[in-house]
Amino acid sequence: MSLPHVARQFLYGTRADPANDRIAVHQLVELQKQVPSLYALLSVNAGALACTHYGLAPDWLTVWLPASLLALCLMRAVQWWRMRPGDTSEADALRRLRMTIGLTAVLAVAFVTWALALGSYGGPFEQGHAAIFVAITVVGCIFCLTHLPVAAFLATALVMGVFLTRCLSSGNTVFVAIALNTAFVTIVMVRILLGNFRTFIKLMEAQDRAERLAEENARLAHTDSLTGLPNRRYFFQRLDALIESSSGTGAPFVLAIFDLDRFKPINDTYGHTVGDRVLAETGRRLARFAGTEVTVTRLGGDEFGVLIRAPGSPEEAVAFADRICATLQEPIRLGDIQVVAGCSGGLALYPDAGRAADALFDRADYALYHSKEGPRGAATLFSQSHEDAIRAERAVETALRSADLAAEMQVHYQPILDTVTDEVVMVEGLARWISPTLGRVPPDRFIAAAERGGMIHALTILLFRKALADARRFPARIGLSFNLSSHDLASSETVIAVMAAVRESGLDPKRITLELTETALMRDFERAQESITALRLLGIKIALDDFGTGYSSLGYVHRLPLDKIKIDRSFMADIETDLGRSVVSTILDLCHNLGFEGVAEGVETPEQLAAMRRHGCRYVQGYLIGAPMPLPALLESLDARERAVVGRRSA
């Protein structure tokens, strides 16, 4: 048995399995309630004994020595009264208990020696008073030192040892009887003390076990099981604590959100097991940045939250976040495969970006969105320009909610040209909104606002019905192409409403093409696949819009029942370069091999049109062919083009 183990056993009492050192703190807490009373008892009794012997014994025994002992008792009582045992460490509690045991021995010897010295003076009454003082001292020590048995036993042994020796050797029958009676009472009280102390130890051990279990449950409740990082609940608790501590001083801190750029394709390509390993490795890498000033958590999915206390300047905070992004950009080796998850981040600075938890989180999330919209792999700090953009978006959402959509929303149409026949064979319906309060609102802004506000489904059906009604005025050879958002495709109610609108319009479904973006497919691929299948069964054609701008198309396009692929307009600007020609040629070869029609968007110059003809792209769309226009202008344009074609043929 080690020396510390023996020491603890000596301190706690005679137990085979001493509890952890936390028991010492519990002992200290209980002793603080009793020890001042012990010193008060000793002081009062010693003062009374000194008074009854004053004039009978020398002054140094009745005045100076008891005064010194009483001063020591008063000093220790004050120390115990001012002690805060609940804030004491285990090591300090043990040190204090050892000091108490040592001082108990010193005071026990001092008081019993002094009492017996006084007992040599005066008559039988004064001597009896000294004997009573010793007995009361023993009883007081046993009661007041119940939670420190070693000290109680030591004081009892020292006092009773000296007292019994003196009484038994006096030859006085009365003193012998007093000594034996006191010894018997002491033995009984010691047995009671031991029983009470064992009960106290068991209670404290049970309490400690319950506390440790509660702490472990709390730790598990605040820990993400996959990565071992603190979880979302802990993140927001820590955020609330930071806001509370900084609210008075205005001390800045940073809330950062990080999101893996390519986690979903990794998860879908290699499976959830590999995805979990990627998240676990990401957690390990992020944990390296954690410290006293940095809290790293997993918020859920592939999103992680970081709180940075005392971040320095905004530039230093962004640089720190960029280092995190760079670390997560490094390849992850998983057996025979190697993946690169990548990472983008968004930061919000307290108090500049907000003083409430929700405001800070939303602004960091907004900054993250902008990081992902631009070149990924870096962090963006929420700024005043972002705040202005949020206010503008809120203004759009407010105006949209109060708008007369049926009256204010319009559909404009952009022609799609068949380069073989040089005829317009289809038009794409594009939403337009002129708000009475905001004026002309760009489609990307009000469509995004409708998605955020839960109005996109109603807006889609309204515009689609308008487009179907207009399409009935098109020449029979002209088809209608119309865009569905990611929210529309994921909603079975919207898909059913689209199919119902087609049936009610009386328009041949084969003249209708619905355009879907990669975002719409990636939102819920299985649901998207089901929706596309249902639409095609009705005869509606499906086009994949903006092809080539995402990272998932090649992995999914062969699994979808598509009819067309629309080549994104961004490739037209580079069509005269080797790279641009190679990319467009590759996409057109893919369309040919899979039996899809290819449609080139963004054709704005004769050179681009000629290049697409050379590459064998049959269908083109862009400002060279025609800008988006309202229905009357479209019909007039189609008539003019028809007359021109007839004129060329007759010539």
For the ranges 6-10, 134-138, 315-319, 349-353, the lowest mean pLDDT is seen at 6-10
pLDDT tier, 632 (very low <50, low <70, confident <90, very high otherwise): very high
Predicted local distance difference test score (pLDDT) of residue 521: 72
Among 523, 578, 575, 519, CA closest to 547: 519
Q: Which two tokens stand for residue 395?
A: 């203004």
Rounded average pLDDT over 161-184: 77
Q: Give Cα 282 to chain centroid, integer Å.
A: 15
Mean pLDDT of the chain: 85
- Tracing tokens 């604590």 back to the chain, one arrives at 241
- 105-130 average pLDDT score: 81
> Across residues 430-440, what is the average pLDDT?
93
Mean pLDDT on 156-185: 78
Quick one: pLDDT at residue 555? 59
pLDDT score recorded for residue 8: 45
- The residue assigned the tokens 């050797």 is 169
Q: In terms of Cα–Cα distance, which of 637, 90, 229 is closest to 417?
A: 637
The rounded distance, in Å, linking the Cα atoms of 307 and 239 is 7
3-state SS track over 588-645: HHHHHHHCCEEEECCCCCHHHHHHHHHCCCCEEECCCCCCCECHHHHHHHHHHHHHHH
Asked if 381 and 349 touch (Cβ cutoff 8 Å), the reply is: yes
Domains of the chain by residue range: 3-216, 232-382, 400-650
pLDDT grade, residue 19 (50/70/90)? very low
pLDDT for 424 beyond 70: yes
Please count the other Cβ atoms lying within 10 Å of the Cβ belonging to residue 404.
Answer: 8
Which residues, including other chains, have CB under 8 Å from residue 328's CB and lie 6 or more apart?
A: 258, 260, 282, 285, 286, 341, 342, 343
Q: Which pLDDT belongs to residue 185?
A: 78
Q: What pLDDT shows up at residue 649?
A: 64
Token readout for 415 is 């022609």
* CA neighbours closer than 13 Å in the CB half-sphere of residue 93: 24
pLDDT at 28: 84
Over residues 367-405, the pLDDT tens digits come to: 998 888 777 788 999 988 888 888 888 888 899 998 999
Question: Which pTM does this prediction carry?
Answer: 0.56
**Is residue 20's pLDDT more than 70?**
no
How far CA 500 is from CA of 480, 506, 534, in Å, comes to 16, 10, 12
Reported in sequence order, the residue ranges of 301-390 that DSSP labels E, i.e. its strands, are 303-309, 332-334, 337-339, 343-350, 379-381
Confidence of residue 1 (pLDDT cuts 50, 70, 90): very low
In this prediction, residue 634 has a pLDDT band, given cuts at 50, 70 and 90, of very high
| One-letter-per-residue 3-state SS of 378-414 | CEEECCHHHHHHHHHHHHHHHHHHCCCHHHHEEEEEE
Cα separation, 625 vs 35, in Å, equals 98
Q: Hey, what are 69's tokens?
A: 């002992």
pLDDT of residue 163: 73
Task: Please state which of the ranges 362-366, 582-586, 603-607 shows the lowest mean pLDDT.
Answer: 582-586
Q: What residues have CB less than 8 Å from 647, skipping those under 6 apart? A: none
Q: Which of 168 and 400 is assigned the larger pLDDT? A: 400
Sorting pLDDT into bands at 50, 70 and 90, what band is 253? very high
Average the pLDDT over 213-226 and give the result.
Answer: 76
pLDDT value of residue 651:
60
In angstroms, the CA 462 to CA 640 distance is 30
Per-residue pLDDT, 130: 78
The region of weakest confidence among 31-40, 314-323, 575-584 is: 575-584
Strand-pair partners of 394: none
Beta bridge partners of 54: 57
The pLDDT, as a whole number, for residue 219 is: 67
Domain 232-382 = CATH 1.20.58.100: no
Average pLDDT over every residue of 595-613: 91
pLDDT exceeding 90 applies to what percent of the chain?
36
**119-123, 125-129, 185-189, 592-596 — most confident range:** 592-596
Give the per-residue pLDDT at 131.
76
Q: pLDDT digit string (tens) for 537-568?
A: 999 999 988 776 654 455 567 777 889 998 88
Instruction: Please state which CATH number belongs to domain 400-650.
Output: 3.20.20.450
418 pLDDT more than 90: yes
Alpha helices by DSSP H, listed for 123-231, are 124-144, 149-170, 173-221
Over range 226-235, report the average pLDDT.
91
pLDDT at residue number 549: 62
Say if residues 45 and 136 touch (Cβ distance below 8 Å).
yes
pLDDT over threshold 60, residue 4? no
Does the structure show a pLDDT above 60 at 2? Answer: no
Task: Tell me the average pLDDT across 440-469.
Answer: 91
- Band of pLDDT at residue 631, cut at 50, 70 and 90: very high
Helix count and strand count (H, E) for the chain? 25, 16
Q: pLDDT confidence of 648, banded at 50, 70, 90? A: low
User: For 255-311, what is each residue's pLDDT tens digit?
Assistant: 999 999 888 888 878 888 899 999 999 999 999 999 889 999 999 989 999 999 988
Q: What mean pLDDT comes out for the span 317-331?
A: 93
Phi, psi of 22 (to 5 degrees): -65, -25
CA-based Rg of the chain, rounded to a whole angstrom? Answer: 44
Go through the chain and tell me how many residues it has: 651
- Cα 407 to chain center, whole Å? 45
Between CA 367 and CA 362 the distance in angstroms is: 9
Q: Quick one: which H or E segment has residue 566?
A: strand 564-567
User: Which pLDDT score is estimated for 13?
Assistant: 43
Confidence band of 220 (pLDDT split at 50, 70, 90): low
What is residue 361's predicted lDDT score, i.e. its pLDDT?
94
Which helix (H) or strand (E) covers residue 469, if one does?
Answer: helix 456-471
Q: What is the pLDDT of residue 6?
A: 38
Rounded Cα gap, residues 441 and 400, in angstroms: 10
